[in-house]
């Protein structure tokens, strides 16, 4: 090679160095730009005789970019978490500010309501005081509804942002596909030389995409990137795009979730739990961890207030002498369960809130397996209960039995005649709509049941010093605690075996069982309710054989194993049975006998409990049955409790009966007011105010936790970006030095070329 070519190689190398340095300086402020540098190598030398090898100048093998994949991945991971926390913080701050507001929160409404109950208790016959109590209840219900509506507005905003994030992600993926193709084409036509600027563009797009949702990448042999999210769901493979969609959840149409659409147009939902990181992950995490929990917690407080207040109000008596009706309206059973629209069976689930104090803040899912297997899953911790049986109704009853040791506050039943198919599922939300649906059911102040429905009195001719307490009503219906068998009697076409004291309704006809041999007429297909349980026995009399037995039990009914007939028994859905009052319709007179130190006169069929040490229980076969007297001990039967204290004389009488003149009676009003400080929440461990304060505290603590984590994560992002800049960033001072260095190299190479020209001219002159 001539000296001219050596000079030219140096000139070209210096020129490329100048161009690269100028390119770096021009892009010093370009986001995502990684500084570049020419990589020079000497040309292969030539052997010149015995003189050795003579160099042939230099060449630029490539233009390399300063890129550290380890640091870049660190920043990507930190950035996607930071974006997630920032979005989470923005959302939870709205909830925290709303609940913590001392004027707009629930606490003032709770205090005002129970203050109005106290005013009504002080003046039970005053219509203005009663109207104030109704207004207090309406104010409390309005507060629940307002907070719930605000939470729903936030939920709507989350749905809109999820849709917006999906659109942004699809746009970034499309840009990535375009850049991927350009990189493939560029490197294919350049002999696999790296397309540095295109790679920088691609990295910047991935950085922006990573702020929306956490992604992972893989590099192909052709230099293209494949991008994945979640647990490996593809977004981009080469240039093939998987489109994301925001679609309503199958069970809850008010909930937008992420789905993927493949090249064949098939749409598959992606569980929220696998979509993490970035703004989208932060939105879904906020909704799952905070918004759902808060709305369920608020709904639980509303449901428990409504349930316990209604239960106590039902034990009272209004100004007209009528037993109390529901004070609050609550969610209807159909609003508590959301069937999956893909269900193929005709069966549905009926949810009944039967123990508000045991309600949790979780949602549940009931799934149907093969062989009449039902599985209930508590979604907050994936706790499961399973029940099976010969029929789905019996499987449901067995499921409720399994749930018994760990009560969740509700019971499940199947719709009459419905059949579920395997893989059918139902989303159960016992408390989600509690705050939305609470309202005051009463409009007439006179219907407030502030009085007790019973009153007690001592006989006018009593000679002793004994007295009887005012009496408390804890229940107006008899309940069933144990199973029993009823036997068909063909001669009378009736059943015998109902327990003494039970309240039975057959097709709307009530029966109060006074003894175990009392007959109840059989009607084919009529609904039978006893102790709050409902069954239906089907079969014409000719299909029942004398002596056939049927078991009625809290866990579900069954047919006797020795039955010769073909009669069938099925459970009725909860809420479809008739509740019969166990309160006395006429005064009951209890008479004391000194000879036996006992009382007689209790109604036949009653089960009397004396709360002494030890307590005793006596089943009353007839009014002559006696119950031993224990001074001051509480005596209970049929939901009535009272105590007789002092020293009665032989023949002294005490009456327990209706309260027809209880206009100024405030006994039930005092019990209603006492609910404010009674621990009826969280399984009987917290008051209404305690539960609300706990909810506000949990939100505040979570908001603080997210804020601190977000600040820390932002610091990690800045540190990572600083580390990248130290490696890949453009240092203008360094580039200025490089510019001078390449300028001098360029000038020196030009001098070599000039000398080569002069030498050539000298040769020509010779």
Q: Contact, 489 vs 495, CB < 8 A?
A: yes
Of all residues in the chain, what percent are helix, strand and coil, respectively (each to 5)? 40, 25, 35
Q: Contact, 125 vs 324, CB < 8 A?
A: no
The 3-state DSSP class for residue 421 equals: coil
The 3-state DSSP class for residue 762 equals: helix
Whether the CA torsion 127, 132, 133, 139 is positive or negative: it is positive
Query: Roughly what angle, to the nearest 10 degrees, separates helices 107-122 and 688-728?
Result: 180
pLDDT of residue 580: 64
pLDDT of residue 619: 82
The 3-state DSSP class for residue 588 equals: strand
Q: Contact, 330 vs 306, CB < 8 A?
A: yes
pLDDT of residue 207: 92
pLDDT of residue 668: 94
Omega cis (within 30) before 614: yes
Residue 41, judged by CB atoms within 10 A of its CB (0-12, 13-18, 19+), counts as exposed
Total Cβ atoms within 10 A of residue 757 = 13
Q: Contact, 294 vs 695, CB < 8 A?
A: yes
Q: Contact, 606 vs 582, CB < 8 A?
A: no
CA atoms of 188 and 271, how far apart (whole Å): 40
pLDDT along the chain (766 residues), means of 10: 81 89 88 88 81 84 86 90 95 91 86 95 94 96 95 95 95 92 85 84 91 90 84 86 90 89 85 91 94 95 94 92 92 90 90 88 94 93 90 84 85 83 94 95 95 94 94 77 78 82 75 74 80 73 81 77 81 62 85 95 85 88 89 92 95 93 89 94 88 92 94 92 85 88 88 86 84
Phi, psi of 457 (to 5 degrees): -155, 155
Strand-pairing partners, residue 246, are: 258
Whether the CA torsion 355, 360, 365, 368 is positive or negative: it is negative
CA atoms of 436 and 428, how far apart (whole Å): 16
pLDDT of residue 188: 81
pLDDT of residue 79: 93
């Amino acid at each position: 090679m001539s000296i001219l070519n050596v000079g030219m190689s140096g000139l070209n190398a210096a020129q490329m160095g100048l161009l690269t340095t100028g390119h770096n300086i021009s892009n010093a402020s370009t986001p995502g730009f990684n500084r570049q540098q020419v990589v020079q190598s000497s040309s292969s030398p030539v052997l010149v005789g015995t003189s050795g090898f003579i160099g042939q100048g230099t060449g630029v093998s490539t233009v390399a970019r300063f890129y550290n994949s380890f640091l870049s991945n660190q920043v990507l991971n930190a950035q996607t978490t930071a974006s997630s926390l920032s979005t989470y913080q923005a959302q939870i701050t709205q909830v925290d500010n709303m609940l913590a507001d001392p004027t707009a929160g629930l606490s003032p409404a709770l205090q005002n309501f129970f203050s109005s109950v106290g005013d009504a208790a002080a003046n039970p016959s005053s219509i203005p005081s009663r109207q104030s109590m109704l207004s207090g209840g309406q104010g409390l219900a309005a507060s629940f509804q307002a907070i719930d509506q605000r939470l729903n507005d936030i939920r709507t905003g989350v749905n809109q942002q999820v849709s917006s994030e999906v659109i942004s992600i699809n746009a970034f993926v499309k840009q990535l596909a375009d850049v991927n193709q350009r990189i493939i084409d560029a490197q294919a036509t350049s002999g696999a030389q790296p397309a540095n600027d295109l790679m920088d563009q691609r990295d910047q797009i991935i950085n922006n995409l990573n702020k929306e949702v956490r992604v992972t990448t893989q590099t192909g042999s052709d230099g293209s990137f494949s991008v994945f999210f979640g647990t490996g769901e593809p977004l981009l493979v080469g240039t093939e795009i998987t489109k994301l969609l925001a679609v309503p959840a199958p069970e809850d149409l008010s909930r937008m979730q992420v789905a993927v659409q493949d090249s064949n147009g098939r749409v598959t939902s992606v569980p929220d739990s696998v979509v993490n990181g970035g703004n989208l992950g932060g939105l879904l995490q906020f909704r799952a961890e905070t918004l759902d929990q808060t709305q369920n917690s608020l709904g639980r407080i509303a449901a428990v207030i409504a349930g316990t207040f209604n239960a106590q109000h039902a034990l009272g008596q209004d100004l007209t002498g009528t037993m109390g009706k529901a004070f609050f309206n609550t969610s209807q059973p159909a609003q508590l369960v959301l069937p999956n629209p893909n269900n193929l069976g005709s069966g549905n689930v009926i949810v009944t809130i039967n123990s508000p104090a045991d309600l949790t803040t979780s949602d549940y899912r009931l799934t149907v397996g093969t062989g009449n297997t039902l599985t209930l899953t508590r979604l907050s911790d994936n706790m499961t209960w399973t029940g099976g049986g010969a029929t789905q109704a019996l499987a449901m009853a067995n499921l409720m039995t399994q749930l018994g040791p760990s009560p969740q506050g509700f019971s499940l039943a199947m719709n009459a005649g419905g059949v579920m198919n395997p893989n059918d599922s139902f989303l159960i939300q016992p408390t989600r709509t509690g705050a939305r649906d609470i309202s005051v059911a009463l409009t007439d102040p006179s219907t407030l049941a502030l009085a007790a429905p019973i009153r007690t009195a001592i006989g006018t001719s009593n000679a002793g010093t004994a007295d009887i307490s005012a009496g408390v009503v804890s229940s107006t219906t008899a309940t069933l605690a144990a199973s029993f068998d009823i036997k068909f009697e063909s001669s009378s076409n009736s059943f015998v075996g109902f327990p003494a004291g039970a309240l039975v309704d057959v097709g709307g006809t009530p029966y109060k069982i006074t003894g175990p041999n009392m007959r109840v007429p059989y009607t084919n297909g009529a609904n039978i309710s006893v102790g709050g349980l409902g069954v239906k026995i089907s079969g014409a009399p000719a299909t029942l054989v004398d002596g056939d037995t049927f078991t009625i039990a809290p866990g579900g009914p069954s047919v006797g194993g020795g039955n010769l007939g073909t009669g069938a028994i099925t459970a009725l859905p909860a809420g479809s049975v008739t509740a019969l009052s166990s309160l006395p319709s006429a005064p009951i007179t209890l008479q004391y006998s000194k000879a036996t130190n006992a009382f007689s006169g209790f109604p036949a069929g009653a089960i009397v409990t004396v709360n002494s040490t030890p307590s005793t229980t006596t089943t009353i076969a007839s009014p002559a049955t006696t119950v031993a007297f224990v001074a001051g001990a509480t005596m209970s039967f049929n939901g009535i409790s009272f105590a007789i204290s002092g020293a009665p004389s032989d023949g002294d009488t005490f009456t327990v009966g209706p309260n027809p003149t209880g206009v100024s009676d405030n006994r039930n009003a005092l019990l209603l007011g006492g609910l404010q400080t009674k621990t009826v929440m969280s399984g009987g461990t917290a008051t209404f105010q305690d539960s609300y304060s706990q909810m506000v505290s949990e939100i505040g603590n979570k908001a603080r936790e997210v804020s601190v984590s977000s600040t820390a994560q932002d610091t990690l992002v800045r540190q990572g970006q600083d580390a990248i800049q130290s490696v890949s960033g453009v240092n203008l001072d360094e580039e200025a030095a490089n510019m001078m260095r390449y300028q001098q190299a360029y000038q020196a190479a030009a001098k070599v070329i000039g000398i080569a020209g002069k030498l050539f001219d000298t040769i020509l002159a010779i």
